[in-house]
């Protein structure tokens, strides 16, 4: 089962490695990892997407709470939450496909952030499956040259916040 784990941790050297190590030590591949400082520079928010057995995920979450750098951790999977991923992709515009490319960008609410000769750099944001769908359609109307994905970022809906986030 797919799990979205969100943690707040001290923004200190080694903190990320200790958390990631808990998951990898148990044989779980981290599908996506996104981390950045919060509005409080000394605190970082880490979002992990992993696939695994619920009982083992619960055990790892309990163990991660014991790490000195971890302020709070929650499995957002079964909670109402919002998630998004950023995609930046370079494409070569195929001759005669310019209108099809523009229509694809319009349908997916994507936009061009740079254009040089026949190469465009595009930006798109959305849930991972929407990023995948956009890339599939995009590959039919242009030639993909390079891409970078941010990984999933997620927050719980409503007023709920992770302890230490406020």
pTM of the full structure = 0.86
User: Is the domain covering 2-79 a CATH 3.30.70.260 domain?
Assistant: yes
Per-residue pLDDT of 67-117, as tens digits, reads: 889 999 999 999 999 999 999 999 999 999 999 999 999 999 999 999 999
pLDDT score recorded for residue 59: 85
Tokens encoding 49: 């997407």
Per-residue pLDDT of 118-141, as tens digits, reads: 999 999 999 999 999 999 999 999
Q: For the chain, give every residue range classified as CATH 3.30.70.260.
A: 2-79
pLDDT score recorded for residue 165: 56
Q: For the chain, give every residue range classified as CATH 3.30.70.1150.
A: 82-149
User: Is the domain covering 82-149 a CATH 3.30.70.1150 domain?
Assistant: yes
In SS3 terms, the chain reads as CEEEEEEEEECCCCHHHHHHHHHHHCCCCEEEEEEEECCCCCEEEEEEEEECCHHHHHHHHHHHHCCCCEEEEEECCCCCEEEEEEEEEEEEECCCCHHHHHHHHHHCCCEEEEEECCEEEEEEEECHHHHHHHHHHHHHHEEEEEEEECCCEEEECCCCCCCCCC
């Amino acid at each position: 089962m797919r799990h979205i784990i969100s943690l707040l941790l001290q923004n200190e050297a080694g903190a990320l490695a200790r958390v990631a190590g808990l998951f990898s030590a148990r044989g779980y591949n981290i599908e996506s990892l996104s981390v950045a400082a919060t509005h409080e520079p000394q605190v970082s928010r880490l979002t992990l997407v992993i696939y695994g057995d619920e009982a083992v995920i619960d055990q790892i979450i309990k163990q991660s709470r014991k790490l000195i750098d971890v302020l709070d951790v929650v499995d957002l999977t079964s909670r109402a939450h919002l998630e998004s991923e950023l995609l930046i992709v370079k494409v070569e515009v195929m001759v005669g496909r310019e209108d099809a490319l523009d229509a694809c960008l319009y349908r997916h609410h994507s936009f061009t952030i740079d254009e040089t000769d026949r190469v465009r750099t595009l930006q798109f944001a959305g849930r991972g499956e929407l990023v995948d769908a956009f890339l599939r359609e995009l590959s039919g109307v242009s030639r993909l040259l390079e891409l970078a994905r941010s990984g999933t970022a997620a927050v719980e809906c409503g007023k709920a916040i992770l302890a230490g986030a406020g």
